[in-house]
Amino acid sequence: MPAVAAGKIAPAFELATVNGGRLSFAEGLAKGPVLLAFFKVACPTCQFTFPFLERLYTQLREQNAQVWGIVQDSARDAERFASTFGVTFPILIDDSPYKVSRQYGISHVPSLFLIKADGGVEIFSDGFSKTDILSIHRSMAQLLTATPPALFLPNEKIPDFRPG
């Protein structure tokens, strides 16, 4: 179980992005809900999950949806990951000693936290859970008062679960 579970207040942080900028969690929350997605580039479950997170981001970004990938690898490796898997949302670097990952109690990747604008964790999920991803999609749409299309396409064969 993560240190930051649903119903808890998420710890604030500021991290460098792969582009050399910085993102502040407090500034992000001022714009609305944030989906944090902790990952490692070599993780096969992360590689499977992130295109769906990109789809969610693309569907909701005009309503100020924020999805932030938080990687425990180098900026160079993270840029390669983003290019390979079509990720356009911001990726932040949590390098050794992985302070932010430890604050959130990350033990598996991917670990996803949907955080409301007030800083409260709405949903926590680790690994790939189709049900959890759909709940995140639905909750984020409700928080943004949006009506996005279906996240999973009818012709896609999506497993119910993939451990991280």
Q: Residue 158 falls within a domain, yes or no?
A: no
pLDDT at 41: 98
**CATH number where 136 lies:** 3.40.30.10
Q: Residue 3 falls within a domain, yes or no?
A: no
Q: Residue 61 falls within a domain, yes or no?
A: yes
pLDDT at 2 over 80: no
Q: Omega before 154 cis (within 30°)?
A: no
Q: Residue 85 falls within a domain, yes or no?
A: yes
Q: Residue 163 falls within a domain, yes or no?
A: no
pLDDT at 164 over 90: no
- Residue-range definition of the domain harbouring residue 39: 14-150
Q: Give the number of domains in the chain.
A: 1
C-alpha closest to that of 90 among 75, 108, 105? 75
Query: For 102-152, how does the pLDDT look when each residue is reduced to its tens digit (9 = 90+)?
Result: 999 999 999 999 999 999 999 999 999 999 999 999 999 999 999 999 999
Q: Residue 31 falls within a domain, yes or no?
A: yes
State phi, psi for 115 to the nearest 5 degrees.
Answer: -115, 125
Q: Residue 162 falls within a domain, yes or no?
A: no
Q: Residue 92 falls within a domain, yes or no?
A: yes
Query: For 52-81, how does the pLDDT look when each residue is reduced to its tens digit (9 = 90+)?
Result: 999 999 999 999 999 999 999 999 999 999
3 confidence band (pLDDT: 50, 70, 90): confident
